[in-house]
């Protein structure tokens, strides 16, 4: 099947070829373009086709509608799959395996990938966007990795891509699920450009007028389409709380999140109280696991980070807090998850290491084929 034929057959992933550029659209606007298992399979096929098609020079990833690039994975479906089949590899584990393979493919893609991170960019959306060669945010961008809230860890490569942030800031973002603006994202290295959202609306017309010059690399030419001369660099709200984040979150594995919480408790500012309340509402076990995983990931390869994350996700869904977190916050919406244990002080080091230890022998790991 040709690239054009494949793309016409994908209802939740729209695509068109415009002047040698594949414009791939996550097309579930009613669900904020959350990734379904079918979408992941389709995206994987599309990237494989584009990789082998010499007529395709680059790929653009965007979200349908005016609210989101991608709000993450389809957590509701994962919840029901986990409840109905908690101890087998289908379908929930396969979802993560295939999602991570797709994200790894984007990170290693030989042709330029451009992610238009307009609107909400969370979880699985970050996994796709952070692998792109050109990550474009706007004033409407709302970026976050909120997984600890539902009993998971920031995954899809977050233990690798968050290391561009200083250690304290990576822990703050990964543990609290704080939302970053487009200006924040550019300031800390999670976006390459921050442009007016209105500028992106006309990119197809500009792309159609692009005259390819074989003497210049593709990215240099594409930047003229996607990056205006008058780029915007508005105030980054993170700047206002940067000193407080550094004061409370600059810890290493020793002491972990319990130490962060104790430090926040000594600060009487509204920000510290709110941040402490946020941490106290998240899974205590996954907060500690996330802290250790983020610190480990700073010295690991991308492939090893994906392998570590898959093991943690397996544990979290198999015998951790994921099912209860999703039940309380997304399914029943009672906002009262019964995490076990209920406090940071009750989280045992052995339990944390259990989550960080792989469920598989090295040669049997589902992602063993990823090249380091």
Active site residues: 73, 124, 147, 155
Question: 198-206 long-range contacts, Cβ below 8 Å, gap at least 24?
Answer: 199/228, 200/62, 200/116, 200/118, 200/136, 200/138, 200/226, 203/60, 203/116, 204/18, 204/23
- Whether residue 334 contacts residue 320, with contact meaning beta carbons closer than 8 Å, is answered with no
* Gap between the Cα atoms of 353 and 369, Å rounded: 25
Q: Which residues pair with 21 in a beta bridge?
A: 18, 58
- Cβ-Cβ contacts under 8 Å for 321 (sequence gap 6 or more): 150, 151, 283, 285, 286, 337, 339, 340
Return the residue matching tokens 């703050």.
172
Burial of 18: CB neighbours in 10 Å, binned 0-12, 13-18, 19+: middle
The backbone torsions φ and ψ at residue 286, rounded to the nearest 5 degrees and listed phi first, read -75, -25
Closest CA to 250 of 320, 348, 170: 170
């Amino acid at each position: 099947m040709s690239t054009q034929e494949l793309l016409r057959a994908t209802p939740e992933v729209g695509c068109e070829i415009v002047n040698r550029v594949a414009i791939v659209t996550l097309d579930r606007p009613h669900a904020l373009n959350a990734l379904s298992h079918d979408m992941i399979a389709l995206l994987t096929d599309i990237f494989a086709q584009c990789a082998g098609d010499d007529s395709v020079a680059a790929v653009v990833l965007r979200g349908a509608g005016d609210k989101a690039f991608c709000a993450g994975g389809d957590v509701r479906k994962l919840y029901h799959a986990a409840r109905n089949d908690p101890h087998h590899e289908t379908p929930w584990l396969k979802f993560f395996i295939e999602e991570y393979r797709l994200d790894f493919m984007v990170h290693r893609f030989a042709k330029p990938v451009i992610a238009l991170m307009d609107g909400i960019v969370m979880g699985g959306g970050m996994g796709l966007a952070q692998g792109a060669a050109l990550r474009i945010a706007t004033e409407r961008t709302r970026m976050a990795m909120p997984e600890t809230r539902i009993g998971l860890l920031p995954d899809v490569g977050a233990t690798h891509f968050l290391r561009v942030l200083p250690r304290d800031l990576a822990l703050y973002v990964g543990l609290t699920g704080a939302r970053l603006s487009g200006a924040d994202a550019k300031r800390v290295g999670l976006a390459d450009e921050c442009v007016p959202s209105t500028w992106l609306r006309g990119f197809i017309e500009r792309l159609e007028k692009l005259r390819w010059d074989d003497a210049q690399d593709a990215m240099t030419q594409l930047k003229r389409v996607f990056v205006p001369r008058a780029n915007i660099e508005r105030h980054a709200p993170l700047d206002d709380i940067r000193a407080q984040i550094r004061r409370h979150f600059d810890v290493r594995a020793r002491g972990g999140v319990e130490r962060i919480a104790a430090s926040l408790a000594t600060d009487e500012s509204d920000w510290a109280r709110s941040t402490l309340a946020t941490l106290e509402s998240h899974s205590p076990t996954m907060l500690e696991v996330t802290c250790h995983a983020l610190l480990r990931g700073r010295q690991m390869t991308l492939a090893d980070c994906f392998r570590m994350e898959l093991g943690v996700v397996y544990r979290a869904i198999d015998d951790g807090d994921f099912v209860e977190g999703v039940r309380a916050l997304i399914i029943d919406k009672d906002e009262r998850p019964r995490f076990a244990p209920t406090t940071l002080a009750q989280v045992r080091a052995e339990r944390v290491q259990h989550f960080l230890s792989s469920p598989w022998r090295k040669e049997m790991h589902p992602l063993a084929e990823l090249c380091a």
